[in-house]
Structure 1
Amino acid sequence: MSTELLERVVIREARPEDDAAIGELLVEAFVTQYAKKLPEVVYTEERKRSLRDTASKRAVAKVLVAELDGRVVGTVALWPPGAPGSEAWLPGAADLRHLATAVELHGQGLSIPLLEAAERWAREWRVPAVCLHVRRGAAGVARMYQRRGFTREPSADLDTPAVYLEAFVLRFED
């Protein structure tokens, strides 16, 4: 993404009127990305409904959006420690999930300001770490997080009947 374009991006908390746009962005980004990189991954209607349920996420997590020229073009959610639905495995850690950008903007650096904002929130919450999971095989996504300082934590991988998720953690210094 050009510097000029990034300068026009506003990162802010999601509002109820953003819910539909966030849900569709998540479904489009996840389905499109996995169709290209992991064609064996199938998103069920139930999973799509879950991704679209932004109101429930906002009720328990900090949901952020990237807005460009009045349009939601990115999102990320951060669950505080102990929040319902959190998959953080470390005591007192936040859980980062649902990072997505508009398909036409993939690969242009839009995830950086979203992650920076989520990490700022986590630091404000004074958590010791941010935990997250990445679908096994999504190597590019894993590398993106590793470039930000996240490290693999295989002991916290999730092996569910539907998916194998690899664990990563970003630890904050005191």
Structure 2
Amino acid sequence: MSERAPGPVTVRPARPDEYDLVGDLTVEVYVDGGLVSPASSYVTTLRDAADRAAKCDLLVAEADGEVVGAVAYCGPGSSYAELAGPGEAEFRMLAVREKARGRGAGTAMVLECVGRARAAGLATLRLSTQANMTDAHRLYERLGFVRTPERDWSPVPGLKLMTYALALRPLSGRGSGRRARSSGPSSPSA
């Protein structure tokens, strides 16, 4: 008997009954992945998906009926944004369960964020990442994000975050008037 091929990944808003699951998943990815110490106060923030959902768009990746990833999309005016300025959005806390990696969940969630920012007519989508998140860096670069070291920052002593940005349209008075080109699809696949 052969195993069934994995089904497609879809991205959708998290439901309130999934907030605890999303919080646990995010903590699992960050703590088990060695990105955050289990003793860090940030674990409380990672676990509080209900707070994220109240302040931004909390999205999940679902495969075969199971939530396998989550991301927080912070549009204009979101009090959860740490990096985005006027005309910009950002996403935070991208997390994909270990067993679901390589199936496109991370890509699908990033593309959903890109699609939301484009639909809102924003100029830029930004993100922060840790230096040791090399798989994530490759994903971002493959999708057209570029490093913005001038925006790197440190939320707490001893932790420096790298930043990336995706230009969604040229800033007024700059460029040729054509939309910025991304190596990824121009609309979300989810």
Normalising by the smaller structure, the TM-score range is 0.7 to 0.9
- Given the superposition, is the C-alpha separation of residues 107 and 44 from structure 1 closer, same or farther in structure 2, using an over 3 Å criterion? farther
| Structure 2: runs of 5 or more not aligned | 170-178, 180-190
Contact 1:151 1:170 in 2 (8 A): yes
Q: Which residue of the partner structure matches residue 112 of structure 1?
A: 107
Letter in 2 for 1:116: L
| Residue 83 (structure 2) pairs with residue 82 (structure 1) | no
Letter in 2 for 1:163: L
Aligned-partner Cα distance in 2 for 1:146–1:47? 27
Aligned-partner Cα distance in 2 for 1:115–1:64? 10
Shift of 1:132: 0.4
More off after superposition, 26-35 vs 119-128: 26-35
Contact 1:87 1:132 in 2 (8 A): no
| Structure 1: runs of 5 or more not aligned | 36-40
Aligned-partner Cα distance in 2 for 1:43–1:126? 39
- Helix, strand or coil: the match of 1:34? coil
Q: Deviations over 1:57-96 (max 9, x none)?
A: 1111111111223321111111012311312244221011
| Aligned sequence identity (%) | 32
Q: Deviations over 1:30-72 (max 9, x none)?
A: 122226xxxxx52435211110111111111111111223321
| Residue 10 (structure 2) pairs with residue 10 (structure 1) | yes
Contact 1:12 1:64 in 2 (8 A): yes
Letter in 2 for 1:171: A
**Superposition CA RMSD, Å:** 1.8
Question: Between Structure 1 and Structure 2, how many residues are aligned?
Answer: 165
Q: Which residue of the partner structure matches residue 167 of structure 2?
A: 171
| Residue 98 (structure 2) pairs with residue 97 (structure 1) | no
Aligned-partner Cα distance in 2 for 1:51–1:22? 9
Q: Which residue of the partner structure matches residue 28 of structure 1?
A: 28
- Given the superposition, is the C-alpha separation of residues 71 and 83 from structure 1 closer, same or farther in structure 2, using an over 3 Å criterion? same
TM-score, scaled relative to structure 1: 0.86
Q: Which residue of the partner structure matches residue 38 of structure 1?
A: none
- Given the superposition, is the C-alpha separation of residues 139 and 59 from structure 1 closer, same or farther in structure 2, using an over 3 Å criterion? same
- Name the larger-Rg structure: 2
More off after superposition, 151-160 vs 61-70: 61-70
Aligned-partner Cα distance in 2 for 1:162–1:49? 19
Name which of 57, 60, 63 aligns with 1:62: 57
Contact 2:56 2:80 in 1 (8 A): no
Aligned-partner Cα distance in 1 for 2:52–2:66? 20
Shift of 1:102: 1.4
Name which of 124, 129, 133 aligns with 1:134: 129
